[in-house]
Amino acid sequence: MAMVAVGGKGGIVSEMNVVPLIDILLVLLVIFMIISRHQKGLDAAIPQQQTDRTGPDVTSETVIVQIASDGSVRINQSDVRFEQVGDRLQEIFARRSERVAFLQADRSLEFQAVAQVLDLMHSAGASPIGLLSSELEKNR
């Protein structure tokens, strides 16, 4: 910023040079325009309107899928054949807005059997899926 002093008949006139201020203002304007395009806010989970639900699986009961050491599968303490696990879970989740499920498997099982049931749960629409261990059950 420079000040100019002009002498003469009118006296001393001092003017502020505002060109550098305008340059700074334009640079800041461009910076804020660019920053606003590159920012993304957090995703918000908006509550959904409840639909009319009927049936026994509509309760807020937690969905727990258990795999025993012999390979038998139970969903909420009811026996289900392995071939019907995916269909049964789809029936349960069709009537629910909350799709949280838990998987509990015996320690002696190979991971392949657990992974197959986990994949069936995921394809039926369970999200998120929690894993339960026997140590958690002992601490209850």
pLDDT for res 3: 56
Q: How many helices (H) and strands (E) does the chain have?
A: 4, 7
Residue 102: half-sphere exposure toward Cβ, Cα within 13 Å? 13
3-class state of residue 62 by DSSP:
coil
Query: What pTM was estimated for this model as a whole?
Result: 0.54
Those residues of the chain that have pLDDT short of 50 are 1, 56-58
125: left (phi over 0), alpha (psi -120 to 50) or beta: left
CA nearest neighbour of 103 among 120, 91, 90, 87: 120
pLDDT for res 43: 75
Q: 95 near 134, Cβ under 8 Å?
A: no
- Maximum pairwise Cα distance, the chain: 109
pLDDT for res 25: 94
pLDDT for res 113: 87
